[in-house]
Structure 1
Amino acid sequence: MMRVLALAAACLAASCAPGEASPPPPVDAADYLVQMVCVDANGRPLPADPVACPGSRRKLQVGEPLPYHKVDFTEGQISDSYPIADVNGISRGVQTYFYVSDLSTNPLFPNMVHFNPENGGYNILGADRENVYFRGTFDQGGGWQPWWTGDCRAAGWLLFPSGQQAFTPGAKPSPTQNAATCRGQINAVASTVEWSHDPQHRYESGKVLDTLRVAHFAPGHASAEFNYFTREYGVTRWEAWRQGTGETSEVVRLQCPTGPHDLTLHGKPFYMADCHDWSVIMPLATPWDPDGRSPVDARAPTWPVDPLYTGANRLRNGYLPSLPDGECSASPWTMSRDLRLTWLDVPPWSGNGNCTAVISAPSESGLAALSQDFTARAGDTRLSFGSLLWAPGGTGQAAIALAELDADGREIASSVIRVNLTARPQMFTGQLRLSGRATSLRYKIVPLTPQTGVAVTGSFVSV
């Protein structure tokens, strides 16, 4: 799938000399997915460029705060690649992209790095025994675009083989067609992926780094997208190419000045339509914790990653997918009799086979709810839950609850979070420690401000 990320850019001076120290021969292609860090004598990460410390560096660890950002050449966009835990053992990392200018735009995250779904996004990086791939993406053009097979196996946008084959030029088809609900399909087309190894690739910062380059071509080679991976930085550069000659804009030429800006690919002329090169680092006085929480409301994660990539959603149709004829349906969710429901047709929230419900209540009773019951599983001791919510009308309040039910449908325990909503979509999450006495569970979204709509984009319950 060809993803044109309309993103602006900017330039910070690198903190080390270009091309410093030659890396050891490549061993594992999966080592090119997430960033490295310099460490002190006690193994603690330092706010320094890993290119400058070849003898005292390692991969960033799961849950470890980042001591520096990767920024693009013109000082506007940040893209970090950090590792994540995965109960399935497949997802390896997240590649973020967001703007420096967004650091102070959300009152929930004052002067903090945070996920802004209207002006940023991420890719999920995965690897199995055979391939390395993007398991899915979030961007402003298409919202969530998870790539799983119909039987819930990961089969994302292929990048390169997992083993030594990645360092020998090759190509293969890269189909992407099923959504992470394992039921619906996303609007994606099959592409062809080609990979190659360049041990001496020069970036806009002047650094020369051992690189795996990946090229995806749309059918008929109508367009192309390149991704560059390094051991030091993970995803280090991205380019979009379109057929034509001499049409690269001045903005793109500023973002990636060394080019080339015109290429011949498969016998056809192409021009560079967009480019970001994140090979410059920005050391941080206070490390960024991508798993952190808002200091204003701890129920709002700093950088929420769709849990469907790292576990299994206990809810059916957590994304409220549209039917084959394009109509939206809340089933198998249940609506209270006095709940009002409409559908919001606003991209990217209602694209790729997903629908966005707007629910409202006539009064402050707190009884009108969109809910779904599901069966408890043996061995569960704690469940996480959450929804991405906002108020299209401006502000409002809502409650999210996960409750344990006995055989007669009575609540025996619950976890309820009450949240303040704005016009900015935000993920809110909670946890429930299970009593072990429930026969079923119920997830509820309750609008609390009378006559005010609550937009529901996606919900999950997972271990």
Structure 2
Amino acid sequence: MTRKGSARPAALLWCAAAMTVCGVLAASANDAGDAASATASPEAITDFLIQNVCLDTSRTVLQGVSPIDADPRCAAQRDLAPGENLPYHKHDHPSPGDRAAVARGYQRRDSFPVETGPFGRVVEHSFDFGAGAGRRFGVFDAGTGDGGDITVMSAKAASFAATEDGGGGFQLFVGPDCQGRVSPAGLSDSWLIALFDPSRATPLQGEAVARLADLREDRQDNCPPRLNAAFTRWYLRPVLYRAAEGQGTPVALTTLISEHYGGERREDADHVERFYFTRELGSTRWERWQNLQHSRRFSPEQLAKATADFASSNRCSKAEIPEGAAFVMIDCREWTLIAPPDDPAGDRPGFFLDAVRSRHLADQLFPAPGPR
């Protein structure tokens, strides 16, 4: 979607002036009105998934400029197009003690569209680590945590169909339509981001219980006998995002937030993963919250240490605690540190999906479109 100017509203910039730590805005009475005024549709949701490019007055893409830079040359914005070079990259923020060594942060996360045969247009959100031994930005370093998420759109939902990270490797998410052999249809409506009703206009907010299974690399041929439940909630909120040193002041952006609970009921869910998407940057922030009372992966001592270690890192500002159980944040990344492309003409997109297409079965699930 094309819009005018760069995203640097004057409101809420008091945080920078007061020299306070700027965090996620708490919900207000106006937020409900904002959510109610936004209609859920494939186009509206996709606009939140894909990062924008900045255009000058001649409609030329500005290299090295993002929509949150407050660059006066940014006369308009639009979504990055399939196959278009990336004019900038989004990086996470390093801990204060690491800034000298890793000025560009630890991880790059770009959000761009890719054409496929079965799904049409999907959105790749890359995980590209560039800090540490054997890790390089712009290169898929297999086995070191590089990967990403692939978002697909069905007739009624946006969902994550695949992911790869350092913990679980390459994974497929299958949903209720998975029958027999794993196929593209079986990946739809699995890890829900948001639902929409194609027959009527509904607000871009809601909740549902997703039914899905996470298939690891050694069991991705056949659909599983049962699916797991995940309470999911999505809504719009204005969120104040931090800026890197020397890149201006914090910026408030309307954000599509999707919360994925590890269980059917939020009151006793094991954990929550919260995803933030903005029209300007696509995937903008991610948080992991763990149930303080009971956790499958952590002992009480391990959870206390993980919570304290993350809090001391100062990588992310504080956020509103998810509804339900007593949750504590144990991880977060906010990709609002803007870095220029390595190529002055912009960097080629691809990265994760290029690697995915070389893997067993995945080349059948996400192939490039055939000749027309």
Normalised by the length of structure 1, the TM-score is: 0.54
More strand by share: 1
Give the AA of the match of 1:204: R
Report how far residue 285 of structure 1 moved: 4.8
Q: Partners of 2:124 and 2:153 in 1: how far apart? A: 12
Q: Partners of 1:195 and 1:39 in 2: how far apart? A: 31
Query: Are residue 159 (structure 1) and residue 198 (structure 2) matched?
Result: no
Corresponding residue of 1:201: 239
2:316·2:332 contact (CA, 8 Å) conserved in 1? no
Corresponding residue of 2:296: none
Corresponding residue of 1:114: 139
Q: Partners of 2:48 and 2:363 in 1: how far apart? A: 20
Corresponding residue of 1:231: 279
Give the AA of the match of 2:212: T
Corresponding residue of 1:249: 308
Q: Partners of 1:202 and 1:173 in 2: how far apart? A: 29
Corresponding residue of 1:338: none
Query: Are residue 48 (structure 1) and residue 86 (structure 2) matched?
Result: no
Query: Are residue 305 (structure 1) and residue 356 (structure 2) matched?
Result: yes
Alignment of 1:199-348 (within 5 A): 200-205=238-243, 206-219=250-263, 220-244=268-292, 247=304, 248-260=307-319, 263=321, 265-266=323-324, 268-286=325-343, 287-291=346-350, 303-306=354-357, 311-312=364-365
Instruction: Provide runs of 4+ in structure 1 moved above 4 Å.
Output: 20-23, 178-182, 307-314
2:262·2:269 contact (CA, 8 Å) conserved in 1? yes
Question: Which of structures 1 and 2 has the bigger CA Rg?
Answer: 1
Alignment of 1:9-48 (within 5 A): 18-19=8-9, 26=38, 28-40=44-56, 41-48=58-65
Report how far residue 19 of structure 1 moved: 3.9
Can you list the C-alpha shifts for 1:193-214, whole angstroms capped at 9, x where unaligned? 111111x211233221110111
Q: Partners of 2:259 and 2:159 in 1: how far apart? A: 12
Corresponding residue of 2:20: none
Residues 191 and 50 (structure 1 numbering): CA distance in 2 closer, same or farther, change over 3 Å?
same
Residues 166 and 213 (structure 1 numbering): CA distance in 2 closer, same or farther, change over 3 Å?
farther
Q: Partners of 2:149 and 2:353 in 1: how far apart? A: 16
SS at match of 2:131: helix
Give the AA of the match of 2:274: F
Q: Relative contact order: is structure 1 or structure 2 higher (C-alpha 8 Å, sep ≥ 6)?
A: 2
SS at match of 2:47: helix
Residues 311 and 42 (structure 1 numbering): CA distance in 2 closer, same or farther, change over 3 Å?
farther
Corresponding residue of 1:96: 126
Q: Partners of 1:112 and 1:159 in 2: how far apart? A: 27
Report how far residue 309 of structure 1 moved: 6.0
Residues 42 and 203 (structure 1 numbering): CA distance in 2 closer, same or farther, change over 3 Å?
closer
Identical residues among aligned pairs (%)? 24
Q: Partners of 2:366 and 2:93 in 1: how far apart? A: 39
Unaligned runs of 5+ in 1: 1-15, 293-300, 315-379, 383-462
Report how far residue 310 of structure 1 moved: 7.4
2:88·2:340 contact (CA, 8 Å) conserved in 1? yes
Aligned residue among 87, 95, 110 for 2:117: 87
Q: Partners of 1:21 and 1:44 in 2: how far apart? A: 27
Q: Partners of 2:165 and 2:227 in 1: how far apart? A: 14
Residues 204 and 249 (structure 1 numbering): CA distance in 2 closer, same or farther, change over 3 Å?
farther
Aligned residue among 152, 160, 170 for 1:144: 170
SS at match of 1:57: strand
- RMSD value, Cα: 3.6
Report how far residue 17 of structure 1 moved: 8.1
Corresponding residue pairs, total? 285
Normalised by the length of structure 2, the TM-score is: 0.66
1:30·1:162 contact (CA, 8 Å) conserved in 2? no
Corresponding residue of 2:153: 127
SS at match of 2:313: helix
